[in-house]
Structure 1
């Protein structure tokens, strides 16, 4: 990696870590996400009961010391199911955004660097995907491939690919004209080497921000697909599916929908808080605004 790119990446990392430490909201979001990861990884061991442990004698019991989140219509412990479902949401969010990041960044790099007909073809394809509402396109893909965790993950990855492609292309268009990129071209460096070692490190900041924000929307999309019966299939627990199952018990068993909904809310809020903090630090336009405000005061 070039010295300029290395300094840029290190400076961005230091600013990001500093923002998370000194911003109370971002720090709170980071703590919530850390707890979510722990629950997602160890939920099966931490859960007080089995997720499919049916007991009709204790069905629809309200929250208590023995069942802090109550029980559902089959007598299953809601807390255990919410904890285990965290793994599903994290898995779908991370894998789907990983797919979108890998494919979108690759397409955006080639489109922005080579321009011409390749740029036109790739970006027009992205525009077609981008024209569809996210959830509608995801539902259409799952309907074609069949419901399930894998197809829901792939569908969410596909619908978020155009966002990463656009963000990457915009960054490449500005970086490719920089002096250090021209210098690398002049000494005969290959295109792939230039993109990997000079272009990509210098557009990492907006990609990091977009990744953190997309994780929140991917989890929301997974919950929506599961609510519609197109995501995780019973008896496996999923926050969206638990909301669907609890919709018929709103008046007599409010806890069935409240706790899965609260889990979705807190997770998405935590990702958004961290994403906003990263955007304030890593986005050059935000930095310019912040510096102007400090100068004015």
Structure 2
């Protein structure tokens, strides 16, 4: 089974490290993980500590992100809400990755009727707009964090199924796969040892990009009241609560919106860098440029 050696891995990591946007995006994501894990300890105040005497105060040393209409500290709520966004992104994309890869692997490897049935089912899901399908699923199952994760996972499953199937159709015709079939290796072993490792690169890129869109989808569902339910903080819900104070208290919408923007931008920067780094043609071109410079 051909695969990347240690030298290729080192070159890929070195190329990633030389990309300033990728380094910046990775730094933001690492900060997001730290905040998501330790947000409750980093928050300077309780997320639901109501103080009507301090309502709608602008950013200050005491409240760096200001206070909301109930006097709650906006910084604390933004920090704790990071855990929700990170949890939804990881779980929902994990669901989409597991189901989509399984479907695409079976469809691409066995082809025939299995390919037709499985991929037509994916085409049905793919025909719906992402947010509309997610709203429909949440409306049926009921609003909440768990249903939001399931809904987002379902709507992104067809993307992973298509990416996987395309890779499998190409790898299946390679000599090393035909050799494994000729010596009597089981289908499960061939898919696990020979096919999956050789289609991992596009799946890694798709995962990083899907995490960004999953966080956006969760924010949209929370904004519509179908995601995380009050009083638990969520960036999308905080945007909804601050929509009526745009002129009088700009900080209510600015800081959760900035958190969404930076998180999605970081995932996209890392995803674009991974796409370039994991593409052998791009890596060869970059090496050729360095050798002639």
Pair in the same fold by TM > 0.5: yes
Offset from partner CA, 1:185-235 (integer Å, 9 cap, x none): 111100000000000000000000000000000000000000000000000
How do 1:90-169 and structure 2 match up within 5 A?
90-169=86-165
CA positional deviation for 1:285: 5.2
Runs of 4+ in 1 over 6 A off after TM superposition: 291-297
Distance verdict in 2 for CA 1:12–1:40, change over 3 Å: farther
SS of the equivalent of 1:74 reads coil
CA positional deviation for 1:20: 2.8
Offset from partner CA, 1:6-29 (integer Å, 9 cap, x none): xxx756643442233111110000
CA distance in structure 2 between the partners assigned to 1:159 and 1:12 by the alignment = 34
CA distance in structure 2 between the partners assigned to 1:76 and 1:232 by the alignment = 18
Distance verdict in 2 for CA 1:13–1:51, change over 3 Å: farther
CA distance in structure 1 between the partners assigned to 2:8 and 2:169 by the alignment = 20
Offset from partner CA, 1:36-66 (integer Å, 9 cap, x none): 0000000001100000000000000000000
Runs of 5+ consecutive residues of structure 2 not aligned to the other structure: none
CA distance in structure 2 between the partners assigned to 1:295 and 1:16 by the alignment = 16
Distance verdict in 2 for CA 1:15–1:272, change over 3 Å: farther
SS of the equivalent of 2:253 reads helix
CA positional deviation for 1:144: 0.4
- The structure 1 residue matched to 2:288, chosen from 281, 289, 292, is 292
Contact 1:15-1:282 within 8 A present in 2 as well: no
CA distance in structure 2 between the partners assigned to 1:61 and 1:94 by the alignment = 34
Offset from partner CA, 1:115-166 (integer Å, 9 cap, x none): 0000011010001100100000000000000000000000000000000000
Question: How large is the RMSD of aligned CA atoms in angstroms?
Answer: 1.7
SS of the equivalent of 2:242 reads helix
CA distance in structure 1 between the partners assigned to 2:219 and 2:104 by the alignment = 28
- The alignment's TM-score, normalised by the length of structure 2, stands at 0.95
- The structure 2 residue matched to 1:80, chosen from 76, 86, 90, is 76
CA positional deviation for 1:283: 2.6
CA distance in structure 2 between the partners assigned to 1:104 and 1:14 by the alignment = 29
